[in-house]
């Protein structure tokens, strides 16, 4: 999954954990959706930024050898939950749950997709025969390394849209989002409050007195 797949599937996975009014309150669903894509918002710019600056890719970049590094680890997820609990923040809790769905969708989606359609990057293993995807997920406890995805430029990511399981995932994700009542209500409310009222409310007059 790349973007809409994460948003749509993540929402479907997380929704049963919350009541309808919990998701609507203070636009909590927005924070949940942010969490659904947060690992990629951190790790993809990190890799592609470093690659662009240094002109290197994959293993040449050392530890940052892929677009799935720190934001895709259980340590990061754990810290988010700790932070949410410490701050007693419902918004952070939503972000943490969204992030958990991201990791789940990445790993399960890849496992199913690659089993059926094959992988552009064959699974790599460490010296103990453990998949580097798992080593990366449990970083740094199983080793200080991540798998090597030698993307040479960001446009290679867009080539992924041509892979059947990615394309289907993105379309399904978009449909899940579109059909979700809480998302529609929240977006409608946001437009009404932020755009409509701002554009059409009469200018405030100074109170005379
Ligand atoms: Zn990801």
* Segment 170-197 mean pLDDT: 87
The beta-carbon contacts of 83-92 under 8 Å, at least 24 apart in sequence, are 90/22, 90/25, 90/26, 90/28, 90/31, 91/26, 91/28, 91/31, 92/31
Task: Of 45-54, 104-113, 148-157, give the lowest mean pLDDT range.
Answer: 148-157
Residues around ion ligand 1, judged by CB within 5 A, are 39-40, 106
Predicted pLDDT at 73: 98
Ligand 1: centre distance to CA 21 (Å) = 29
Residue 99: pLDDT band (50, 70, 90) is very high
From 124, 104, 109, select the one nearest 13 (Cα to Cα): 104
Predicted pLDDT at 205: 58
Ligand 1: centre distance to CA 41 (Å) = 9
What the block records as the tokens of 165 is 């399981």
Predicted pLDDT at 121: 73
Ligand 1: centre distance to CA 61 (Å) = 19
For residues 108 and 133, is the Cβ–Cβ distance under 8 A? no
Annotated domain spans of the chain: 4-200
- List, in order, residues 6 or more apart from 196 with CB less than 8 Å away: none
Task: Of 56-60, 72-76, 112-116, 164-168, give the lowest mean pLDDT range.
Answer: 112-116
Ligand 1: centre distance to CA 67 (Å) = 8
Query: Is it the case that residue 68 has pLDDT exceeding 70?
Result: yes
For residues 70 and 160, is the Cβ–Cβ distance under 8 A? no
């Amino acid at each position: 999954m790349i973007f809409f797949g994460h948003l749509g599937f993540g929402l479907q996975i997380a929704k049963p954990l919350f009541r309808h009014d919990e998701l609507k309150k203070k636009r909590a669903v927005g924070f949940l959706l942010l969490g659904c894509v947060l690992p990629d918002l951190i790790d993809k710019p990190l890799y592609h930024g470093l690659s662009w600056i240094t002109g290197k890719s994959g293993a040449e970049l050392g530890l940052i050898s892929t677009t799935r590094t720190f934001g895709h680890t259980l340590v990061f997820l754990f810290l988010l939950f700790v932070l949410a609990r410490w701050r007693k923040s419902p918004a952070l809790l939503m972000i943490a749950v969204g992030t958990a769905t991201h990791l789940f969708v990445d790993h399960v989606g890849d496992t199913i997709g690659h089993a059926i359609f094959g992988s552009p990057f064959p699974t790599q293993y460490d010296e103990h025969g453990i998949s580097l995807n798992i080593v990366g997920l449990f970083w740094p406890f199983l080793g200080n390394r991540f798998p090597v995805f030698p993307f040479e430029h960001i446009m290679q990511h867009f080539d992924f849209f041509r892979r059947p399981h990615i394309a289907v995932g993105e379309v399904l994700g978009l449909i899940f989002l579109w059909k979700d009542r809480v998302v529609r209500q929240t977006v409608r409310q946001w437009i009404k409050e932020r755009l409509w009222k701002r554009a059409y409310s009469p200018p405030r007059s100074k109170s005379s007195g």
